[in-house]
C-alpha cells in the first residue's frame, strides 16, 4: 500500500491552519508577513489577524470625511465598542513595529506612514461662497 504524503494528512487536520485569517498585507514582503504571523501566535496580547485588522481599521478611519473625524474626536463613537477603536489600532501598530526586526518594522512603518500622511493632511480653507 502506498504511503500518504504528510501534506495530505496535515490538510485534513482541523485547526491546523487558519483559513479565516487573511495573511496578506499589501506592500509587505513575505519575510515581514511571516514575522508578523509568528508574533501573532507567540504574544499574549495578539491574536491571529490582529495586525492586518488594525491596519485596515486605521486605513478606513483616516479616509473618512473630516466632519466625521471631528465628531468622533469631540463626542466619541459608540460603534468603537463593537467594531474597534482606530486610535487603539494605531497604538497596536506602533507596538508591533517596536517588536519587529528593523527591516520588517521599516516596511510596516512605510505603509502606516502613508495613512498617517492622510491623517495629518491639512484641510482646505473653508469658503462660505461655495455652496
pLDDT tens-digit profile of 52-73? 999 998 998 888 776 565 555 5
Residue keyed to cell 474597534: 84
In a domain, 14, yes or no: no
pTM more than 0.85: no
Burial level of 12, CB count in 10 A (0-12/13-18/19+)? exposed
In a domain, 124, yes or no: no
* Among the listed residues 41, 44, 50, 43, the one whose alpha carbon sits nearest the alpha carbon of residue 22: 50
For residues 52 and 21, give the distance between their C-alpha atoms in angstroms, rounded to a whole number: 9
Domain that holds residue 32: 28-119
Contact between residue 107 and residue 28 where contact means Cβ atoms under 8 Å apart: yes
In a domain, 104, yes or no: yes
In a domain, 86, yes or no: yes
In a domain, 45, yes or no: yes
- Domain tally, the chain: 1
pLDDT value at residue 120: 76
Average pLDDT, the chain: 78
In a domain, 10, yes or no: no
Amino acid at each position: 500500500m502506498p504511503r500518504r504524503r504528510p501534506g495530505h494528512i496535515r490538510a485534513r487536520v482541523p485547526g491546523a491552519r487558519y483559513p479565516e485569517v487573511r495573511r496578506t498585507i499589501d506592500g509587505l514582503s513575505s519575510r515581514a508577513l511571516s514575522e508578523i504571523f509568528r508574533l501573532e501566535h507567540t504574544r499574549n496580547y495578539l491574536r491571529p489577524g490582529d495586525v492586518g485588522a488594525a491596519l485596515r481599521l486605521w486605513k478606513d478611519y483616516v479616509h473618512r470625511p473630516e466632519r466625521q473625524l471631528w465628531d468622533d474626536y469631540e463626542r466619541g463613537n459608540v460603534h468603537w465598542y463593537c467594531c474597534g477603536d482606530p486610535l487603539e489600532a494605531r497604538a497596536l501598530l506602533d507596538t508591533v513595529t517596536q517588536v519587529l526586526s528593523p527591516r520588517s518594522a521599516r516596511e510596516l512603518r512605510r505603509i502606516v506612514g502613508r495613512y498617517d500622511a492622510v491623517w495629518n493632511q491639512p484641510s482646505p480653507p473653508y469658503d462660505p461662497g461655495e455652496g
